[in-house]
Amino acid sequence: MDFIESLDPQILLGATVAIVVIVAAAYLFTSKKAKGSLDAENFKDFKLVKRTQLSHNVAKFRFELPTPTSVLGLPIGQHISCRGKDSQGEDVIKPYTPTTLDSDVGYFELVIKMYPQGRMSHHFREMRVGDYLAVRGPKGRFKYQPGQVRAFGMLAGGSGITPMFQVARAILENPKDKTKVHLIYANVSYEDILLKPPEVWDGGVGFVSKEMIQAQLPAPAHDIQILRCGPPPMNKAMAAHLEALGYAPEMQFQF
């Protein structure tokens, strides 16, 4: 099942901001915990078996796991470190969050935005089916347990959507998880929006403001958490907005 194609929440996507409120639930989950394919200490090579161009600078890369029933073994909301070569042939390592979960057996996928001057972007731009990617993990401080909060408020910018997507998807695929998800997603332009289901957008546009956060995200409370992931300037601005709106530090987490 392709989650991106099957997802049908209430969606608002914009040229500079996108808002998604997800309250539905899908019903895919694995009944048995399989051993993960990752190594936290050493890089392991995974074969690229499919590359799908999503836009002029975004592609989805599918990598094969050791067996058709293998799982990646990445805890929800954590990430992997990928190693490649930049345009000068020098090693470069960068963290990425897969858009797949352990309910996707036999493979994992990365949605990558390739920047003109990005060192790791060069490596992905040059990758072809049959090539191998060196991966190490899992890494990250975020630990998710179903129902740990009543609601998540998510503030994402650019490729910062990927950990939000992973957490939201895990919630949607667990029929016992009633956690509500509210997402504000900002981009420079409509073309920069990653993982967008609709082809046409006629909703709101603008910078993410205090008023927008107040209107779209859950109000400060002991049983909610605000997740942030985006470029440093955005993270700094969102932290200031949240503080002004009364969100305590323990109500926030930055990927």
Catalytic residues: 79, 96-97, 229
27 vs 114, higher pLDDT: 114
- In this predicted structure, the answer to whether residue 104 has a pLDDT above a threshold of 50 is yes
In a domain, 150, yes or no: yes
pLDDT at 203: 64
**Is 33 a domain residue?**
no
- What is the distance between the alpha carbons of residues 83 and 43, in angstroms, rounded to a whole number? 8
The bridge status of strand 180-186 relative to strand 91-96 is unpaired
3-class secondary structure, 1 = coil
Q: What is the pTM of this model?
A: 0.79
Tell whether 106 and 166 lie within a shared domain.
no
Q: Is 34 inside a domain boundary?
A: no
Beta-bridge partners for 50: 62
Q: Is residue 153 over pLDDT 70?
A: yes
Beta-strand ranges (E) seen in the chain are 10-12, 17-22, 44-53, 58-64, 79-85, 91-96, 107-113, 132-139, 151-157, 180-186, 224-229, 252-254
Q: What is the pLDDT of residues 208-244, one digit of tens each?
A: 999 999 999 999 999 999 999 999 999 999 999 999 9
Using one digit for the tens of pLDDT, what is the confidence trace for 85-98? 999 999 999 999 99
Closest CA to 63 of 11, 124, 143: 124
Q: 18 in a domain, yes or no?
A: yes
Q: Evaluate if residue 190 carries a pLDDT over 80.
A: no
- Do 121 and 173 share a domain, yes or no? no
CA atoms within 13 A on the CB side of 89: 0
Domain shared by 19 and 96, yes or no:
no
Indicate the pLDDT class of residue 205, thresholds 50, 70 and 90. Answer: confident
